[in-house]
Structure 1
């Protein structure tokens, strides 16, 4: 995969640093929920009324490299993520671009995402960490669909490292603005519940990955 220009090396280092602490200096991250061994924090954007999220926790029985492999495997995600309507990766002018349509409950419209992503395995002060970054990316080759709202502001970071035993420690940052006429309180409620549910799903997916292989 030749994607060296999609993300700078410093972006990976910055993601590691930002995910090291639940509440960095100068930002008011609220503790929102404790769920399934994960702590979820939120940072409110006063302009949009929406939160950014950070999650910190452990997968006791999933090795770090396996967790990263599962997250990057889009074909496998179609099997374990029930919210996926359509998901594929396409090479567009030398960039690997992901298209992802997410099912929303009636009467809301589905949302879709077009984004780029990259994974790096880094040495962080003697610790081996897997870092995955993703962000929105617009290309005319993947036009908007009728009846589906395009999410143009999406960012996610994932940092995975060993827990020193048979599992891994996971730190995740997540933000998107789903647009449309959904009230911000409903978006925040769904995200606050969706983040821990996603983490539970990916942990189960890790446990079943050998069956897929």
Structure 2
């Protein structure tokens, strides 16, 4: 399989990611409401691509709980309304694996999927989880889904105390499909805040759920619990967007897009 070899991020990569999550210069704020803030950034070298950063303050969630929720694939099927299918494929190191995720997009856009190398690391003031797209020989693009490309996506969970934290989501993704610019704007102004608030609500409910669902099983904390098959890193290659078929969705109009209801816009005020 040709292409750039996949690499597990080193400490410098985690440090750079954390730094980008916390700095605000060079970013354009597009949303700031109910303890949730969104910034976007247009990349000069590729005008069609954007980066998005979204941060939410959670006064009633411990950083460790947030970390567990973002890792727990069984719980994700309970709270993530957009998920179609998600599963871990193989472990690469004690803090890296490769997995599959497909999700629903608002009609008439086609649904997307991604195969990604994910790595994670506890840091002094919290946790980092990040991923990027890879080619896996057994999981090629599907005909009924658009294979998106995560150039770099991840979360920085910063502890603010024993029962509070901030969650910062940073993403540079090529969704393919030649999407019009207004779709990106809608994503930053509506969909991203809704998703962050949904994660917050999921975190509040997680301790009670986990207590009844294999409560001691946390392979992201205890690598000896990881039962995934091991896979040589050399079998993976970086997934570049230009090697995938480009589905043209540029003609989609705003009036035709079936956006979800503006749920949870004020529900955080009670927390």
The two structures have a TM-score, normalised by structure 1, of: 0.86
Task: State which of 112, 127, 132 in structure 1 corresponds to 2:129.
Answer: 132
Tell me which residue corresponds to 1:18: 20
Tell me which residue corresponds to 1:38: 36
Q: In the TM superposition, what whole-angstrom CA distance separates every residue of 1:4-33 from its partner, at most 9, and x where no partner exists?
A: x5111111111122222112xxxx311110
User: Which deviates the most, 168-177 or 41-50?
Assistant: 41-50
User: Which deviates the most, 71-80 or 103-112?
Assistant: 103-112
Q: Is the 8 A contact 2:31 2:188 kept in 1?
A: no
1:173 is displaced (CA, Å) by 0.9
Write the distance in 2 (CA, Å) between the matches of 1:191 and 1:148.
23
Aligned pair 1:89/2:91, yes or no? no
In the TM superposition, 1:140-179 aligns within 5 A as: 140-164=137-161, 166-179=163-176
Write the distance in 2 (CA, Å) between the matches of 1:62 and 1:153.
28
Tell me which residue corresponds to 1:7: 9
Tell me which residue corresponds to 1:121: 122
Q: Is the 8 A contact 1:36 1:196 kept in 2?
A: no
Tell me which residue corresponds to 1:76: 75
Tell me which residue corresponds to 2:100: 99
Q: In the TM superposition, what whole-angstrom CA distance separates every residue of 1:66-125 from its partner, at most 9, and x where no partner exists?
A: 1011011122111101110111111177772111111123322111011011211122xx
Tell me which residue corresponds to 2:244: none
Tell me which residue corresponds to 1:60: 59
Tell me which residue corresponds to 2:190: 193
Equivalent residue pairs, number: 201
Cα 1:52–1:99 change in 2 (3 A) is same
Q: Is the 8 A contact 2:116 2:150 kept in 1?
A: no
* Stretches of structure 1 lacking an aligned partner (at least 5 in a row): none
Aligned pair 1:212/2:214, yes or no? no
Q: Is the 8 A contact 2:97 2:119 kept in 1?
A: no
Q: Secondary structure at the match of 2:135?
A: coil
Q: Is the 8 A contact 2:58 2:165 kept in 1?
A: yes
Write the distance in 2 (CA, Å) between the matches of 1:132 and 1:161.
12
Write the distance in 2 (CA, Å) between the matches of 1:142 and 1:92.
15
Larger Rg computed on CA atoms: 2
Q: Is the 8 A contact 1:85 1:101 kept in 2?
A: yes
Write the distance in 1 (CA, Å) between the matches of 2:123 and 2:97.
21
1:165 is displaced (CA, Å) by 5.3
